[in-house]
Amino acid sequence: MNFSIHPLLLVTFFPLLGVLILALIPGERKNAIRWVAFVTTLVTFALSLWVLSQFNPGVGTLQLKLDQPWVNLGGVEIRLQMGVDGLSLLMVLLTTFLTPLAILSAWSAVKERVKGFMILFLLMEVGMLGVFLALDLVLFYIFWEFTLVPMYFLIGIYGHERRIYAAVKFFLFTMAGSILMLLGILYIGLQARTFSYETLLANRQVFLGVSQWLFLGFGLAFAIKVPLFPLHTWLPDAHVEAPAAGSVILAGVLLKMGCYGFLRFNLPLFPEASVYFAPLMAVLAVIGILYGAAVAFSQKDLKKMVAYSSVSHLGFVMLGIFALTSQSVSGAILQMVNHGLSTGALFLIVGMLYERRHTHELAAFGGLWKVVPVLAAVSLVVTLSSMGLPGLNGFVGEFTILAGSFLPSSALGSPWYAGIATLGVILAAVYLLVMFEKVFLGPVTQVENQTMADLNWREIIILGTILVVIFWIGLYPKFFFDLLQPTVDNLVKVVRSAAGLP
């Protein structure tokens, strides 16, 4: 009998300990509440590093597996199955890395109902970690749906003017997507008499006949989350109305759950259908890249601009995934991390500007470089990283995706997808630089801006921490690629061989 707690269970559910402690602290002791939440997420981050130390990067299959019986539903078991590979490990690290920073960023931004805010944030973290670690399909679905609830409240209670509309739209859109996934999960679970991921992988032929329908069912849920054009309409609303810390998690982690779903479930469970639909997905991805960039360019609202840039950036990720070469897929996964960092940082900066000026209007800023040089300098690096400047993280991801998608072995069958997508890189440079110019360069046009305070120590720590990783990935991405490569090679080989690609 082994009484020690499994590392994956520990890292997933540790934030619940913080929730329990928070529940006991009276609501007026706001600083105590903030500290408990922050320390909890820091410890969770440390725990995820411990998982990293236990992880063997040389193996491409799932490791540190946990498998316990949980519920027996009329003869088909739902098990407490978790496991980690290079893909999920990176996502877990991204989650546990961003959550404490997001909490830190809400230190002074959230002044009312702090206790509820922090409890929701910790619950959110449990849900997200569960999504990335769960291997039983029903367990995955439970975590997937569960993440809806805290985010719904974060937007609905702590958001801006149109928060209720945005919160309900977010909830209904995501739930609409999950419905077909649930039906798909039920169907394959009952056909194969199991919901466990690895057993299902081995018994794929049971549902081979309807795999295209299943791909669409699962795919809809994930595509809404990504979001893939034209399913992105919930995203600008949710982002604009969410509190800054919520936007960070929404962009940084929640959107990655969609990409992760494609990589974890759609590709390996339905490889034939994945290859069949790859051109369609790539077309939508490329449209998303260009459309997102064009719409971002025309925004007058800073936060909306960043939100639409997400649509564009995640188009690259989707293109990389469905090009299905080893290079493009690892580029896509790295780009998921990059987007979490760069866009997360952009939302943090937008939040900091909002805290100072209480507006997201581009026209309200201008010439800030003179007033807040540190904030401006940091923003410049973040903007350049989001643009994909060599030496910073964004370049590594986008370049690898595009190079991998150009390969003749790509599942798309044509280099044109990558060719057109490359335009998106240029467009990104245009709208991001225009944004930077409008906010930070030129003369100070508004009186209120002349007295704007520069970054305080707390804010410097938040953004500085992210900058370190931005430079790390940009200059020495090998560490991350080494972590990923065996998993990706394994995934790509399985999918390509099942679908009859060389």
Partner 1 sequence: MTLSDISAILPLVVLVGWSLLLLLADLWIPAKHKGWTAILAALGLLVSLGLALLQIGAVQVALSGMAVVDGFGTFFNVVFLASGLVAIPLAYDYLKRMKIERGEYYSLLLFSVAGMMLMAYAYDLIVVFLAIELLSIPLYVLAGFARPRVDSEEASLKYFLLGAFSSGFLLYGIALVFGATAHHDLLGITQAMAAGKGIPLLLLIGASLILVGFGFKVAAVPFHQWAPDVYQGAPSPVTGFMSVAVKAAAVAALLRVFVTAFPGLSGHITPVLWGLAAITMIGGNVLAISQSNIKRLLAYSSIANAGYLLMAFVPYGSSGQTNADVIASSLFFLVAYGLTTFGAWAVVVSLEKVEGKGLELDDLAGLGRKYPWLALSMMIFMLSFTGVPLTMGFWGKFYLFRTAVEGGFVSLALIGLVTSLISAYYYLRVVVIMYMKAGEPEVVADRWVRLTAIAAAAAVVLLALAPGPLLHMAATAFMRLQ
User: Where does this chain bind partner 1 (CB under 8 A)?
Assistant: 70-74, 76, 113, 138, 141-143, 145-146, 148-149, 152-153, 156-157, 163-164, 167-168, 171-172, 175-176, 179-180, 182-183, 186-187, 190
User: Nearest approach, Cβ of 297 to partner 1 (angstroms)?
Assistant: 33
* Identity of the residue, 231 or 284, whose beta carbon is nearer to partner 1 in the bound complex: 231
User: Nearest approach, Cβ of 123 to partner 1 (angstroms)?
Assistant: 10
Per the structure block, which two tokens stand in for 358? Answer: 């209480």
User: Nearest approach, Cβ of 17 to partner 1 (angstroms)?
Assistant: 16
The residues pairing with 39 across neighbouring beta strands, listed in sequence order, are none
User: Nearest approach, Cβ of 187 to partner 1 (angstroms)?
Assistant: 6
Asked if 99 contacts 249 with a C-beta cutoff of 8 angstroms, the reply is yes
What per-residue string of b and e applies to 91-124 under the rule 16 or more CB within 10 Å gives b?
bbbbbbbbbbbbbbbbbeebeeebbbbbbbbbbb
User: Nearest approach, Cβ of 185 to partner 1 (angstroms)?
Assistant: 10
User: Nearest approach, Cβ of 184 to partner 1 (angstroms)?
Assistant: 10
Calculate the CA dihedral of residues 34, 37, 38, 40 and round it to 10 degrees.
150
Number of Cβ within a 10 Å radius of residue 297: 18
* Identity of the residue, 163 or 264, whose beta carbon is nearer to partner 1 in the bound complex: 163
* Identity of the residue, 74 or 443, whose beta carbon is nearer to partner 1 in the bound complex: 74
Q: Give the burial class of 370: count Cβ atoms within 10 A of its Cβ; 0-12 exposed, 13-18 middle, 19 or more buried.
A: middle
* Identity of the residue, 182 or 403, whose beta carbon is nearer to partner 1 in the bound complex: 182
The Cα 448–Cα 451 span in angstroms is: 6
175: Cβ–Cβ under 8 A, 6 or more apart, which residues?
Answer: 145, 148
Of the candidates 261, 39, 19, 38, the residue with the CA atom closest to the CA atom of residue 150? 19
Per the structure block, which two tokens stand in for 341? Answer: 């960092």
Calculate the CA dihedral of residues 181, 184, 188, 193 and round it to 10 degrees.
70
CA angle 185, 189, 194 (to 5 degrees): 135
User: Nearest approach, Cβ of 319 to partner 1 (angstroms)?
Assistant: 30
* Identity of the residue, 138 or 269, whose beta carbon is nearer to partner 1 in the bound complex: 138
* Identity of the residue, 23 or 447, whose beta carbon is nearer to partner 1 in the bound complex: 23
**Angle between the 234-241 and 302-323 helix axes, to the nearest 10 degrees?**
130
Asked if 22 contacts 118 with a C-beta cutoff of 8 angstroms, the reply is yes
User: Nearest approach, Cβ of 173 to partner 1 (angstroms)?
Assistant: 10
* Identity of the residue, 156 or 315, whose beta carbon is nearer to partner 1 in the bound complex: 156
What per-residue string of b and e applies to 429-464 under the rule 16 or more CB within 10 Å gives b?
bebbeebbebbbeeebeeeebeebeebeeebeebbe
CA dihedral sign, ordered 292, 293, 297, 303: positive
Backbone torsion region of residue 275, taken as left when φ is above 0, otherwise alpha when ψ lies between -120 and 50, otherwise beta: alpha
- Please name the residue that has the structure tokens 């877990």: 92
* Identity of the residue, 159 or 292, whose beta carbon is nearer to partner 1 in the bound complex: 159
* Identity of the residue, 175 or 434, whose beta carbon is nearer to partner 1 in the bound complex: 175
User: Nearest approach, Cβ of 40 to partner 1 (angstroms)?
Assistant: 20
Asked if 13 contacts 131 with a C-beta cutoff of 8 angstroms, the reply is no
* Identity of the residue, 90 or 119, whose beta carbon is nearer to partner 1 in the bound complex: 119
User: Nearest approach, Cβ of 435 to partner 1 (angstroms)?
Assistant: 31
- Please name the residue that has the structure tokens 């060719």: 419
User: Nearest approach, Cβ of 144 to partner 1 (angstroms)?
Assistant: 8
